[in-house]
Structure 1
Amino acid sequence: MKKSMGVAVLAAVALALAACGSGGSGDAGDGGRTAASGEPRVLKLWHYETADSAMGKAWAEAVKRFEAAHPGVTVKFEEKGFEQIQKTASMVLNSDEAPDVMEYNKGNATAGLLSKQGLLTDLSEQATKRGWDKLLPGGLQVTAKYDDRGVMGSGKWYGVPNYGEFVMVYYNKELFDKHGVKVPTTFDELTAALDTFVKAGVTPIATAGAEYPAQQIFYQLALTKAQRPWVDAFQSYKGKVDFHGPEFSYGAQTLADWVKKGYLDKNAAGLKAEDMGVAFMKGTYPMMISGSWWYGRFASEIKKFTWGHFLFPGATMSPGSSGNVWVVPEKSENKDLAYDFIDITMSKDIQNLLGNSGGVPVAADPAAITDPKSKELIESFNKLTAADGLAFYPDWPAPGYYDVMVAGVQNLINGSKAPAQVLDELAKPYADNLADIGN
């Protein structure tokens, strides 16, 4: 695994922008030419960001600018669910139903697998031609490039990330004040805060076991005992991973203990991410451990209480990376238009909008980020990346691992299996994948 960004994103971006301009949307490609049939062209776009998220707002504006720059071309946008794309991508992209450009999850098990299957277009030439390689610092390119095995970090460009993301602790300031809880700066202080809420009859942490959130808590707990070489071994196969070693053993046992202590609701095993987010926005829970992708939505929708965030105490690393990537399916019928659309999302104006809407831009003008809440978010991201603290996500290393992680963490939450048994079940598909790629 390459080192993560190592410098503050916006500072690095400012240098990149000085070198190559806005990153531009000036290259209009084939513009609004019609298809061979003489009919107006249509760009089929898929993504799974909600309209009120930072990315949703930025990409909606990108669609408007794309259509303005391409007379006669219409964007046909279809919103897909994260789970929907996660489960059907290989099948859909191998059919005539493939979109021209779509958001897809990054990592070996997802974008890497599709690249190995020949389902994604090699974007290396476009990355150089359009300056994407200059706009994205080296750490952000880790999830853009995949080798012949589908392993991220080197090889050809198969995706283009245009935002950053990381997992943090969101908190309800009113509930903290009501119960006399201060923002914790150490793991012991976090545990004391959790105990305070439980004693008051309040379940402290909102989560969801039926989708990604709870597995990210499991991984975050493991990261409190981990160093960078362990992450490199797990994510990039640069060493042997002991699933019964101190990292994963602590994560599994502590998650199970947190449920027993009342820090997490046992019913969370059946909840989805949306359930978790809505519950936090209603003011039901003091805390929610999840990603920056919620940030813009919270800024827009939470009106009844003030909220903030902090990095997970007691860990130098957190789940996080560049954001999901734009990919161009090999069966795309309008690749030139897809490249143009990606280019517009990388332009300074769209990146500035993303940053001021609660996202983490990768190619913004630092001086243009004026929203105070957005500045707080970007400062936390820069702090994390400066410490080489992006540890990617637990479901990345092997195809199908997301579902394995969901099932394992659900078992920890409902107590149906012991931590050691869950870790055995996580180890097997990981080992199978290593054998499959010849590692």
Structure 2
Amino acid sequence: MLTARRRAATAAVILTGSLLLASCGGSDSGSSDGKTLRLWHYEGPTSAMGIAWKEAIKEFEDRHPGVKVEFEEKGFDQIQKTAPMVLNSSDAPDIMEYNKGNATAGLLSKQGLLTDLTAEATKRGWAKKLSPSVRTTSQYDTNGVMGSGNWYGVPDYAEYTLVYYNKDLFKKYGIAEPTTLGELTAAMDKFVAEGVTPLANGGAAYPAQQYLYQLALSKADRSWVDAYQLYKGRTDFHDAAWTYGAQTFADWVKKGYFGKSSSGQNEEKAGTSFTSGKAPIFFSGTWWFGRFKAESKFDWGTFLWPDSRLTLGSGGNLWVVPKGSKNKDLAYDFIDITLSPKIQNLLGNSGGVPVAADAAAITDPQSKTLIENFNTLSKNDGLAFYPDWPVPGFYDVLVSETQKLLTGSDKPAGYLDSLQEAYDKGAPKQ
């Protein structure tokens, strides 16, 4: 799912540095001269992470005289598709950004392609800086399932979903910022009565399924999430939470909260319907924050989904150290720097969600709200990951089945039947 999110949240990725392949052989850090750190990541240069990591590279080189960072910005798809092959060759970088989850970092850890970072996480205090739900995606067991076992990656930012709303449109129609789900529903009814479709949506990509998953989360708890995401118990798609989510979503379709054409729209169309000032509300992730700040020509704000302790989100993508890294100690030092107050504060002031920033150092009002809301979620262990994570191929199932609810070609019970079948087919046997 992040593939789509990266396309939406950043401009097309361009090559910003040239990669000089290391000539020394071997796979251990001891086989290197220690003068080069080869780094790959796929964050755009104007994104919060891109800005912060550029400064981290400068800080790293200042702290390591004579050491050069050889950096290449890769595309998300490029790393996603080629990582197993590259990491199993002599061309593996020393450190790279990689997607978190069972099917990505978990799979590479199971294949023995990543360095076990457990000792470093303890020695350097990384474990203490990350809340439980953030570090879930850092640890993987021997089967590559997240949530327990050894450390194979470290996030230095987080992401979560929230409600973006157009303050100017709310003011125009005399609607106050909702603080409860009832008030949010009343606001959407008011917009519909005024001929305004309230919710930006993309049924051909992740936005639609995330609305439905959030509705289910509002009736769920941590044990429900752990059963679904971590296989700690059986997931019943006809339970109270999933039934509420599917039925309420279908009701919202009938009420006109979603546009009739939204079933065929992708996430980009959903985002631009908000930035253009057409849709007053968009429920999506913090990965849009910087773009909305740059492109929106109206007053807007954010708030957490009302009446829910849980929302979609996780620690950000991971810094991983390939097993074949020739400069592992340098890689660990770079991770340390990205978690330092200086870089974390810069990330926060650039529109990101840092995991270890000084709240008093964040000066932008919208960014302060963004980080305060994350701190609330983190304190409540409120990050519930994403609906497509549990089994391979589930993203496509969620897209196609949620589209059927949007078009009215299926009912909630049939929708939930389809999810149960796909999930049971892909999840480990209990």
TM exceeding 0.5: yes
* Paired AA for residue 234 in structure 2: K
Q: Contact 1:185–1:313 (CA<8 Å) still a contact in 2?
A: yes
Specify the alignment match of 1:279 in structure 2: 273
1:296 equivalent in alignment to 2:284: no
* Paired AA for residue 419 in structure 1: P
Deviates more, 1:326-335 or 1:217-226: 326-335
Q: Contact 1:144–1:158 (CA<8 Å) still a contact in 2?
A: yes
Q: Contact 2:140–2:147 (CA<8 Å) still a contact in 1?
A: yes
Specify the alignment match of 1:36 in structure 2: 24
Residue 120 and residue 415 in structure 1: after superposition, are their counterparts in 2 closer, same or farther (change >3 A)? farther
Look up the SS of the partner of 2:115 in the other structure: coil
Specify the alignment match of 1:186 in structure 2: 180
Specify the alignment match of 2:73 in structure 1: 78
Gaps of 5+ in 1: 1-33
Kindly tell me the number of residue pairs found equivalent between the two proteins.
402
**Aligned partner of 2:50 among 52, 56, 64:** 56
**Aligned partner of 1:149 among 99, 119, 143:** 143
Q: 1:382-393 counterparts in 2 under 5 A? A: 382-393=375-386
**Aligned partner of 2:261 among 246, 252, 267:** 267
Specify the alignment match of 1:25 in structure 2: none
Q: Contact 1:194–1:204 (CA<8 Å) still a contact in 2?
A: yes
Q: 1:341-360 counterparts in 2 under 5 A? A: 341-360=334-353
Specify the alignment match of 1:167 in structure 2: 161
What do the CA deviations read for 1:242-278 (whole angstroms, capped 9, x no partner)?
1112211222232233233221224333333333223
Q: Report the alpha carbon displacement of residue 86 of structure 1 after superposing the two structures with TM.
A: 5.0
Q: Report the alpha carbon displacement of residue 84 of structure 1 after superposing the two structures with TM.
A: 5.7
Q: Report the Cα distance in structure 1 between the residues aligned to 2:254 and 2:170, rounded to whole angstroms.
A: 22
Residue 36 and residue 228 in structure 1: after superposition, are their counterparts in 2 closer, same or farther (change >3 A)? closer
**Aligned partner of 1:411 among 376, 395, 404:** 404
What do the CA deviations read for 1:280-316 (whole angstroms, capped 9, x no partner)?
22222101101122223323333x2111011112322
Q: Contact 2:133–2:378 (CA<8 Å) still a contact in 1?
A: no
1:379 equivalent in alignment to 2:367: no
Specify the alignment match of 2:40 in structure 1: 45
Q: Report the alpha carbon displacement of residue 389 of structure 1 after superposing the two structures with TM.
A: 2.2
Q: Report the alpha carbon displacement of residue 41 of structure 1 after superposing the two structures with TM.
A: 4.1
Residue 63 and residue 406 in structure 1: after superposition, are their counterparts in 2 closer, same or farther (change >3 A)? farther
Q: 1:188-207 counterparts in 2 under 5 A? A: 188-207=182-201
What do the CA deviations read for 1:71-109 (whole angstroms, capped 9, x no partner)?
45243322424x665566545545666544333332333
Specify the alignment match of 1:106 in structure 2: 100
Gaps of 5+ in 2: 1-21, 26-32
What do the CA deviations read for 1:6-61 (whole angstroms, capped 9, x no partner)?
xxxxxxxxxxxxxxxxxxxxxxxxxxxx85399984614122x3333322221222
* % identical aligned pairs: 59
Look up the SS of the partner of 1:288 in the other structure: strand
Normalising by structure 1, report the TM-score. 0.82
1:329 equivalent in alignment to 2:329: no
Deviates more, 1:254-263 or 1:370-379: 254-263
Residue 113 and residue 189 in structure 1: after superposition, are their counterparts in 2 closer, same or farther (change >3 A)? same
Q: Report the alpha carbon displacement of residue 336 of structure 1 after superposing the two structures with TM.
A: 4.1
Specify the alignment match of 1:253 in structure 2: 247
Q: Contact 1:170–1:309 (CA<8 Å) still a contact in 2?
A: yes
Specify the alignment match of 1:8 in structure 2: none
Q: Report the alpha carbon displacement of residue 424 of structure 1 after superposing the two structures with TM.
A: 2.4
Deviates more, 1:402-411 or 1:333-342: 333-342
Q: Report the Cα distance in structure 1 between the residues aligned to 2:308 and 2:34, rounded to whole angstroms.
A: 56
Q: CA RMSD in A?
A: 2.8
Q: Report the alpha carbon displacement of residue 156 of structure 1 after superposing the two structures with TM.
A: 0.5
Residue 103 and residue 278 in structure 1: after superposition, are their counterparts in 2 closer, same or farther (change >3 A)? farther
Specify the alignment match of 1:426 in structure 2: 419
Q: Report the Cα distance in structure 2 between the residues aligned to 1:427 and 1:87, rounded to whole angstroms.
A: 28
Normalising by structure 2, report the TM-score. 0.84
Q: Report the Cα distance in structure 2 between the residues aligned to 1:118 and 1:211, rounded to whole angstroms.
A: 32
1:305 equivalent in alignment to 2:298: yes
Look up the SS of the partner of 2:427 in the other structure: helix
What do the CA deviations read for 1:113-132 (whole angstroms, capped 9, x no partner)?
33223232212233234332
What do the CA deviations read for 1:296-346 (whole angstroms, capped 9, x no partner)?
3323333x2111011112322111222222222334455444333322211
Specify the alignment match of 1:317 in structure 2: 310
Look up the SS of the partner of 1:350 in the other structure: helix
What do the CA deviations read for 1:153-211 (whole angstroms, capped 9, x no partner)?
21100110111222110001001111111111222221111111122221111122333
Q: Contact 1:210–1:271 (CA<8 Å) still a contact in 2?
A: yes
* Paired AA for residue 176 in structure 1: F
1:369 equivalent in alignment to 2:362: yes
What do the CA deviations read for 1:200-258 (whole angstroms, capped 9, x no partner)?
22111112233322221111011122222212221222222111122112222322332
Q: Report the Cα distance in structure 1 between the residues aligned to 2:111 and 2:425, rounded to whole angstroms.
A: 18
Deviates more, 1:270-279 or 1:150-159: 270-279
Look up the SS of the partner of 1:160 in the other structure: coil
Specify the alignment match of 1:222 in structure 2: 216
Specify the alignment match of 1:30 in structure 2: none
